[in-house]
């Protein structure tokens, strides 16, 4: 890491100081300021954040306005709570990802740890009220490793019971070891009428290689009396990976009601012709690992699906592969497909639809149009008619490069959302290579020059292909937030370049031994494995110019870019406390409040930030005890508005690991 210091000093001299002086002098606003706080009035309790996305449509919006641009600089820690997982789990806790967004249920603040312990807190003090531990086995925890996570829980109200009856309000949670559990929201006790004593065990369609191959990380979705559950799956293990089947259960009894498989095992008039030969019978995944949104009024469930197995070679699943990499709308009661919209044909890039689409209402020719919006890893924003799936802004099928790999056949075109701004750059020429020093930049340029580099749909190759943005996004599972008053959408993105290299199957093990720090996966059953690596300079920085993380706002009514802001600094990543405003990789999402603010953590510098919704100006930062790779939430209790985030870090990003939930509020 000391090389960063040398690079910074030399770069300061070589570049004449301009950009670097700014970088050294930049100090983001801190959570406390001198002077008298701006007066604020107490507000009525608002415990309406009842879903991880604030509401079933994942708007990630709150009507609270006690905290505003005028007083947010005075925001300060109100309480902290530690889950104790660091002590309880030992080294395993440092591999988990604490990404939960708490919800309000039965007067409690409820969330899950990466190990599926469900915890209820007092919303005002952060005091613990109850805990439920599903007792994940050490074997499960060890096998899932760094993929172990729990992003939240759901709740359901049984209208057939008296309001104060046991299990009248339930917490529904899905676990890493494939259990669906119903708890009394008031006490945390199992609901005996659900499944087997409160637990339903989900059975995979085939034997698993280990627990990581199929587990559950996102909160269930609830629509009416139905609970809908997706699954997470280890990528690139094998061609015949487990099915990405979505399952729906009766919220009262736990009985299985319907299933939907994004890979058509039975004939489907639209999807089946896009899977050549018998490929649908042997292909797995296309699972729904991210959050799921619902339209309760229209009985619609919106499923964001992922890539079929394996991600980076499709020669054994030729065709467009509908309904993978799609948003599929199904009926909540029956699972019947209503419409589907595919974002990537024949995916070779791990371009999952990672986040729940957000429900919005647009005005077109004086008429209100029910719509939904979502952003993709490739950096596109799509807005669809919620009832039909038809795009409401232009989408064009444009030609893309062909594969030069034997056995592979790329789809000739891909859908580009041309009616809305892209939220990440799509090209990285060799002359654009970034480096502080000449030799640093030259090394990056040479890799770009010798690799395939033909835009966002450059297919993986044997010589190496540039993927920009990387497979982690663009946008990821944090999704978008939308202000319903103005239809201004905000989304955070990663902007880091990656290199994809196919490795002949008989050379995979040798490649692993020769490159112990590089991700090289077998893709069993395929003629090629995959080598996937972030493209870094000799000094360890991304080979593309900063910002490496950004926050973007788009006016969804006009389709115009509103503003764009760098997200994150290098604080904590370089010595001597140097803080370069270059943006950082980020995971987690934003929220918007009626106070005209955007709150987001996500970055590697362990900060929670507030931005002005209208201008994009960064107004406040609050330091977290660990990485805040989670989506925050907000509520009002006891007259104060609180902003709460899980600060647990992210082992893959290298952020500080912790087990804290932290609340901020204005001083009393």
Which run of H or E residues covers position 549? strand 549-555
- Judged on CB neighbours under 10 Å (0-12, 13-18, 19+), 575 is exposed
What is the length of the chain? 668
With contact defined as beta carbons under 8 Å apart, do 175 and 136 qualify?
yes
The number of angstroms, rounded, from the C-alpha of 589 to the middle of its chain's C-alpha atoms is 7
Compute the distance between CA of residue 430 and CA of residue 364 in angstroms, rounded to an integer: 43
| Angle 247-251-253 from CA coordinates, rounded to 5° | 100
Cis peptide before 469 (omega within 30 of 0): yes
Compute the distance between CA of residue 204 and CA of residue 18 in angstroms, rounded to an integer: 58
Rounded to the nearest 10 degrees, the angle between the axes of helix 2-14 and helix 18-25 is 130
Can you read off the two tokens belonging to residue 663?
């609340």
Q: What are phi and psi of 216, to 5 degrees?
A: -125, 130
Can you read off the two tokens belonging to residue 56?
């079933």
Query: Does the annotation count 250 as an active-site position?
Result: no
Compute the distance between CA of residue 387 and CA of residue 368 in angstroms, rounded to an integer: 13
Q: Which residue is listed with tokens 């259990």?
A: 179
Give the other-Cβ count within 10 Å of 588's Cβ: 26
| Angle 252-60-188 from CA coordinates, rounded to 5° | 35
Compute the distance between CA of residue 658 and CA of residue 77 in angstroms, rounded to an integer: 17
Compute the distance between CA of residue 314 and CA of residue 321 in angstroms, rounded to an integer: 10
Annotated catalytic residue within 323, 350, 352, 483: 350
What is the C-alpha radius of gyration for the chain, rounded to an integer number of angstroms?
24
Say how many Å lie between the first and final Cα of the chain, rounded.
42
Compute the distance between CA of residue 305 and CA of residue 291 in angstroms, rounded to an integer: 10
- Report the C-alpha dihedral over residues 585, 550, 82, 107, rounded to 10 degrees: -140
Compute the distance between CA of residue 600 and CA of residue 613 in angstroms, rounded to an integer: 12
Compute the distance between CA of residue 568 and CA of residue 603 in angstroms, rounded to an integer: 6
Can you read off the two tokens belonging to residue 74?
């005075």
The residues, ordered by sequence, that sit 6+ positions from 278 with a Cβ below 8 Å of its Cβ are none
Residues annotated as part of the active site: 350
């Amino acid at each position: 890491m000391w090389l960063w210091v040398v690079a910074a000093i030399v770069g300061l001299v070589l570049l004449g100081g301009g950009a670097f002086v700014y970088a050294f002098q930049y100090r983001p606003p801190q959570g406390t300021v001198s002077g008298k706080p701006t007066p604020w009035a107490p507000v009525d309790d608002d415990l309406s954040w009842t879903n991880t996305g604030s509401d079933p449509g994942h708007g990630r919006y709150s009507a609270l306005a006690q905290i505003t641009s005028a007083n947010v600089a005075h925001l300060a820690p109100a309480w902290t709570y530690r889950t104790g997982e660091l002590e309880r789990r030992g080294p395993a806790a440092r591999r988990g990802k604490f990404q939960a967004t708490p919800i309000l249920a039965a007067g409690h603040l409820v969330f899950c740890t990466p190990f599926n312990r469900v915890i209820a807190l007092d919303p005002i003090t952060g005091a613990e009220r109850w805990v439920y531990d599903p007792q994940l086995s050490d074997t499960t925890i060890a096998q899932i490793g760094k993929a172990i996570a729990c992003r939240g829980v759901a709740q359901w109200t049984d209208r057939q019971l008296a309001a104060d009856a046991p299990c009248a309000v339930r917490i529904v949670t899905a676990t890493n070891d494939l259990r669906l559990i119903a708890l009394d929201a008031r006490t945390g006790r199992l609901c005996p009428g659900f499944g087997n004593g409160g637990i339903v065990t989900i059975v995979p369609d085939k034997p698993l290689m280990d627990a990581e191959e199929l587990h559950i990380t996102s909160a269930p979705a609830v629509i009416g009396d139905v609970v809908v559950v997706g699954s997470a799956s280890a990528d690139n293990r094998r061609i015949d990976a487990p099915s990405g089947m979505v399952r729906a259960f009766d919220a009262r009894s736990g009985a299985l009601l319907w299933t939907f498989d994004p890979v058509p095992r039975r004939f489907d008039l639209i999807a089946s012709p896009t899977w050549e030969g018998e490929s649908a019978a042997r292909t797995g995944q296309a699972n729904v690992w991210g959050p799921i949104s619902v339209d309760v009024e229209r009985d619609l469930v919106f499923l964001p699906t992922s890539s079929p197995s394996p991600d980076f070679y499709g020669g054994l699943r030729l065709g467009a592969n509908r309904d993978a990499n799609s948003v599929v709308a199904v009926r909540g009661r029956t699972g019947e497909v209503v419409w589907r919209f595919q974002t990537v044909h024949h995916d070779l890039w791990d371009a999952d639809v990672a986040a729940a689409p957000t429900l919005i209402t647009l005005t077109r020719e004086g008429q209100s149009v029910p719509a939904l919006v979502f952003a993709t890893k490739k950096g596109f924003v799509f807005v669809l008619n919620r009832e039909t799936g038809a795009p409401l802004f232009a989408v064009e099928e444009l030609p893309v490069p062909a594969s030069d790999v034997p056995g592979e056949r790329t789809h000739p075109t891909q859908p580009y959302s041309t009616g809305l701004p892209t939220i990440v750059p799509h090209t990285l020429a060799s002359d654009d290579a970034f480096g502080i020093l000449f030799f640093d930049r030259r090394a990056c340029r040479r890799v770009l020059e010798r690799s395939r580099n033909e835009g966002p749909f450059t297919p993986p190759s044997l010589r190496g292909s540039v993927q920009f943005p990387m497979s982690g996004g663009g946008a990821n599972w944090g999704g978008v937030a939308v202000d319903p008053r103005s239809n201004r959408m905000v989304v955070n993105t990663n902007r880091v370049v990656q290199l994809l290299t196919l490795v002949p199957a008989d050379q995979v093990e040798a490649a692993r031994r020769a490159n112990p720090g590089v991700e090289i996966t077998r893709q069993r059953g395929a003629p090629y494995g995959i080598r996937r690596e972030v493209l870094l300079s000799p000094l360890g920085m991304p080979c593309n110019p900063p910002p490496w993380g950004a926050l973007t706002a788009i006016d969804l009514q006009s389709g115009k870019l509103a503003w764009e802001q760098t997200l994150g600094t290098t604080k904590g990543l370089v010595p001597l406390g140097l803080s370069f405003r270059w943006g950082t990789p980020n995971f987690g999402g934003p929220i918007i409040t009626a106070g005209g603010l955007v709150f987001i953590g996500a970055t590697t510098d362990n900060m929670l930030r507030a931005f002005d919704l209208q201008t994009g100006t960064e107004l406040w930062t609050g330091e977290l005890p660990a990485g805040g790779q989670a989506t925050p939430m907000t509520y009002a209790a006891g007259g104060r508005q609180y902003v709460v985030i899980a600060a647990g870090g992210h082992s893959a990003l290298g952020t500080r690991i912790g087990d804290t939930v932290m609340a901020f509020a204005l001083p009393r």
